[in-house]
């Protein structure tokens, strides 16, 4: 009976990671060591039980104890795997959400930058239109001045009539220059605002994705730690179960002999 239980338990407990191999296998080395230690204790305990010539009832009780210890160990392993899976899913979800938010934020920034540039272009055109209106009004005023001078029999190319026209031209051209400057300023400021908006969004997206990557790495490390801890606890539970069963039947056998 003890030999059959040993073969069943150890045949199902062959899940330990090898001592050499990939980086992930090396990280699971403490778990493999704990499992090997647990199997060693099971071997020793079942070997002792096999040498005690137990009755069928005692053998069944011993097998039940070992199966219970093995079941508890496997439950701890399953809980550790579930916890690691939860950490990995949370890490993946957080990183995916951060990347989607960055993409949406970048699209929104591009739209806002386009609107800013369009607004600056319209403002620049308005300044140019205002300058053209000033020039149109200047031409009309000087034409009116020349017509009135001609009607009065005055030469509009000299004297006070010419002086008034030159003053009109000087004042209007100053205003037109200001309009041109305002138009250029609107274009430059619009371009700078759009560029600053895009750069700020890119920088913020980079920080958000980087923070999500760091958090995902922390979740992955927490998952690995939980998996390793579960393996160690499973090995310890299996070892304790085998030890308890062996001590119980050894003490029972000693009392029966005495």
- For residue range 198-241, list pLDDT tens digits in order: 999 999 999 988 988 888 888 888 888 888 888 888 888 777 77
Give CA–CA dist 78/70, Å, rounded: 12
In which residue are the tokens 């160990």 written?
A: 73
Parts of the chain with a pLDDT under 70: 1-64, 156, 245-258
pLDDT for the residue numbered 128: 92
pLDDT for the residue numbered 160: 79
List Cβ<8 Å contacts ≥24 apart for 79-85.
79/230, 80/226, 80/227, 80/228, 80/229, 80/230, 80/231, 80/233, 80/234, 81/227, 81/230, 83/223, 83/226, 83/227, 83/230, 84/223, 84/224, 84/226, 84/227, 85/223
pTM score of the predicted model: 0.54
List CB contacts of 228: < 8 A, sequence separation 6 or more: 27, 28, 30, 31, 80
pLDDT for the residue numbered 123: 92
């Amino acid at each position: 009976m003890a030999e059959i239980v040993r073969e069943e338990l150890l045949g199902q407990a062959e899940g330990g990671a090898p001592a050499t191999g990939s980086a992930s296998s090396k990280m699971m080395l403490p778990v493999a060591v704990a499992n090997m230690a647990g199997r060693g204790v099971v071997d020793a305990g079942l070997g002792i039980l096999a040498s005690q010539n137990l009755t069928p009832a005692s053998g069944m009780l011993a097998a039940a104890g070992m199966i219970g210890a093995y079941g508890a160990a496997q439950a701890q392993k399953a809980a550790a795997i579930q916890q690691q899976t939860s950490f990995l899913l949370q890490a993946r979800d957080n990183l995916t959400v951060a990347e989607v938010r960055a993409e949406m934020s970048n699209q929104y920034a591009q739209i806002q930058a386009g609107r800013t540039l369009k607004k600056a272009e319209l403002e620049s055109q308005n300044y140019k239109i205002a300058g053209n209106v000033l020039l149109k009004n200047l031409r009309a005023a000087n034409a009116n001045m020349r017509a009135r001078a001609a009607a009065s029999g005055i030469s509009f190319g000299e004297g006070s009539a010419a002086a008034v026209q030159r003053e009109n031209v000087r004042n209007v051209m100053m205003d037109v220059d200001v309009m041109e400057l305002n138009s250029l300023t609107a274009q430059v400021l619009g371009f700078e605002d759009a560029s600053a908006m895009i750069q700020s969004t890119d920088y913020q997206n980079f920080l958000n994705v980087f923070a999500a990557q760091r958090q995902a790495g922390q979740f992955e490390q927490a998952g690995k730690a939980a998996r390793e801890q579960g393996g160690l606890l499973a090995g310890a539970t299996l070892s304790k179960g085998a030890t308890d069963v062996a001590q119980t039947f050894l003490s029972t056998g000693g009392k029966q002999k005495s």
